Structure 1
Amino acid sequence: MSGGGTRSPRIARGRSSERAGRRAEALAALRLRLTGWRILARRLKTPAGEIDILARRGRMLAVVEVKRRPDRATAGEAVLPAQRRRLARAADWVLARGEALGAGGVEGLRFDLIWVDRLGLPHHLPDAWRPDGS
């Protein structure tokens, strides 16, 4: 007998969560595209951590965090201060490599939140937080 039987449900839940997260990010990217944003990257790996979506509209660059949550309050609470600091460091890394990532010539940077509710509807909260904590 192998001990794999007890791990299987956990692995299945992990895969299910991964698929649900990818679906949420796809819905978020679609929402952004439909409102005039160009998606520069999804799941962008940086030395500071991962950015769910990096998007640009005109001269504005948005670092977008995607959450699957039932409402705005729950989604906002899910982005903890440590994660906000990590995203700010990741944004600094992106800005330092601006042209290579299509982010050159930006005049503004903001941190947005998109949450996908229980019905699968994406909701966009522009400028959800600032690196200085506001």
Structure 2
Amino acid sequence: MKRQAAERRGRQAERIAAWWLRLKGWRIVGRRLRTPAGEVDLVARRGAMLAFVEVKARGSAMELDDAIDERRLARVAAAAEILWHELARPGDDMRIDVILLAPGHPPRHLANVWHGG
């Protein structure tokens, strides 16, 4: 049962993150895209920028500090490299973003968090 509850929370967090991105002028072009390297929660486009977005929700804002690590970001980056070939248009650029969610706090959007560690 815990796994199902976590799945529901994850999907809800992704819906909130997508809503937040749309309010900021992004268009969602993919959700939960799976590759052999891993999964990308959201892919958003604004102009010539494609953002591959990892969404993390925790029970408190303090817990968010440990929600993302190099290993997770490397997996998102590897998946983004695969998806890039399907989603990019000539002249596009890409970045890896993270959206952190905790009850009672606005979404925290961290842009361009991966630099090839």
The answer to whether the superposition gives a TM-score over 0.5 is: yes
Pairwise CA distance, 1:74: 4.3
Query: Structure 2: where are the runs of 5+ without partners?
Result: none
Which one-letter code corresponds to 1:108 in the other structure? D
Matched, 1:116 2:101: yes
Q: Which runs of 4+ in 1 moved over 6 A?
A: none
Question: Could you tell me which residue of structure 2 aligns to residue 77 of structure 1?
Answer: 66
Q: How many equivalent residue pairs? A: 116
Partners in 1 of 2:96 and 2:14 — Cα distance? 15
Please give the alpha-carbon distance, in whole angstroms, between the structure 2 residues aligned to 1:104 and 1:76: 34
Q: Give the whole-Å Cα distance in 2 for the aligned partners of 1:54 and 1:65.
A: 9
* C-alpha separation in 2, matches of 1:82 and 1:68: 18
CA shift at 1:125, angstroms? Answer: 1.4
Aligned Cα root-mean-square deviation (Å): 1.8
Contact 1:24 1:120 in 2 (8 A): no
What's the counterpart of residue 96 of structure 1?
Answer: 85
How far did 1:126 drift?
1.2
- Residues 42-91 of structure 1, C-alpha deviations (whole Å, 9 max, x = no match): 101112111000111000010100001333x7435322222222111111
* Percent pairwise identity: 43
Indicate how the Cα distance of structure 1 residues 120 and 27 shifts in structure 2: closer, same or farther if over 3 A, else same.
farther
Structure 1 unaligned blocks of 5 or more: 1-10
Taking structure 1 as the reference length, the TM-score comes to: 0.77
- Partner residue, 1:30: 19
Change (3 A) 1:26 1:92: same
